[in-house]
Amino acid sequence: MILLLIPLFLYLFVQAFVLAMLLQAFGKADEKKSKNESYPLVSVLVAARNEEEHIMACLASLAQLDYPADRLEFLIGNDQSEDRTAELVQAFCDKDPRFKLIEIESELGNARKKANVLAHLAHAAQGDFFFITDADIEVPTTWVSSMMPRFTEGIGCVSATTTISGKSGFARMQHLDWLYFMGILFAFDRVGLGATAVGNNMAVRKEAYWATGGYEKLPFSITEDFLLYKAIKEAGWKAIHLCEAANTNGSEPAPTWGTLMQQRKRWLTGGQGLPLYWKMLLVLFGSFQPFLILGLIFFPQMALYLWFTRFLIQSFALSTLSILVGQKSSFLRFVFYEFYSVFLSLVTPIYFLLPSKKKWKGRDFETTHYA
């Protein structure tokens, strides 16, 4: 029966590794930056569908970027929105000629849904670098200027951290959940075991994007960011993930538990294309809670000790991440997050196995293919 505790010890080992990588990141923000002082033309690509509640805040944050104004263009793809998204974007474009609204009315090759929007925008883009974000995102003023120097020789994709905004208890729990996952991505990327790019906070060298053939040449996936990241690496380019205040974006939270579960289901479906070691890692992280319950039944004292150890390491990691991205943290929130994460880890696999359709922006995804 003591074998029941082995997954818990393995989990704690991985947690300790993540924390070590985060601590190692302090004071090393200036590593591996390009010395090129020129300002290449940058195209910011935003896919939008039914985003009237958030699109104006997104555009306003983009307009405040500190990168030279004449070296920026903003392409907003309206994916057949059924609300006032197009009207609001066009009004903004009329005031700032750097912004352009593009109506998406057809499909390019294999591209579907968000990938199709980005495929159209890539064809319209004039920049040497594509910065990709979502319509419910607000970016810091240093978003582009802090990520551009990371495009050293051979780097085709630079991804950065996104956290959740909002002041409700539900939003704050999502914030910690996203932050911790971003920390895991960052930690493994530092040792050459990157998993994916963050679709609402990524930049791609134009040459690297077209080396993949573009989204229209790639097989369809509901996690288009992972698909592009994978294709760029297969084309011989390198990719890196950042965890810095200067390029951390803020996203709107999932408004309901149902929306959150749909989001998780999409991620897990897309994650089936991950390398074996990442699949094993996700299984390990998902197995902590059920094995903890078994441990509490058969070895209650040891299981409680391991649970408390997990809480301490996780809280220390979250505190470290909060410092890295320049955001406040609270020990009391870490306590609530511990129980939130336990509950979420138990219900997510159950929901994933339910025969419900995968949705994005009110649309169903019937199938997903992988390269």
Q: What domains can you pick out in the chain, each with its CATH number?
A: 2-24+265-361 (no CATH), 42-256 (3.90.550.10)
Residue 368: its pLDDT value, please?
37
User: In which residue are the tokens 């594509």 written?
Assistant: 130
Tell me the percentage of the chain whose pLDDT exceeds 70. 92
Check pLDDT > 60 for residue 185: yes
| 3-state secondary structure at position 68 | coil
Q: Is the pLDDT of residue 365 over 60?
A: no
Q: Is the pLDDT score of 220 beyond 90?
A: no
Section 96-111 average pLDDT: 94
Q: Comparing 187 with 363, which gets the higher pLDDT?
A: 187
Give the residues across from 241 on adjacent strands: 159
Confidence at residue 31, expressed as pLDDT on a 0 to 100 scale: 57
Highest-confidence segment of 105-109, 205-209, 225-229, 288-292? 205-209
Bridge partner residues of 78 (DSSP)? 48, 103
State residue 50 phi and psi, 5-degree precision: 55, 55
DSSP 90-104: HHHHHH-TTEEEEE-
pLDDT tens profile 11-39: 999 999 999 999 998 766 545 666 656 89
Supply the DSSP symbol for 75: E
Q: What is the pLDDT of residue 108?
A: 93
Q: Is the torsion defined by CA of 270, 275, 280, 281 positive or negative?
A: negative
Over residues 336-353, the pLDDT tens digits come to 999 999 999 889 888 888
Ramachandran class of 99: left when φ > 0, alpha when ψ lies in -120 to 50, beta otherwise: beta
Quick one: tokens of 170? 């539900």
Q: Is the model's pLDDT at 114 over the cut of 80? A: yes
User: What does the alpha-carbon distance between residue 349 and residue 268 come to, in Å, rounded to a whole number?
Assistant: 9
Structure confidence at residue 170 (pLDDT): 96
Query: pLDDT averaged over the chain?
Result: 90
The C-alpha atoms of residue 59 and residue 137 are separated, in whole angstroms, by: 9
What is the amino acid identity at position 64?
Q
Per-residue confidence (pLDDT) for residue 371, from 0 to 100: 27
pLDDT greater than 70 at residue 139: yes
Calculate mean pLDDT across residues 99-124.
95
Q: Write out pLDDT tens, residues 239-291.
A: 999 999 999 999 999 999 999 998 888 888 877 788 888 888 888 988 888 88
Q: What is the pLDDT of residue 34?
A: 62
pLDDT in the model for residue 358: 54
Q: What is the pLDDT of residue 360?
A: 53
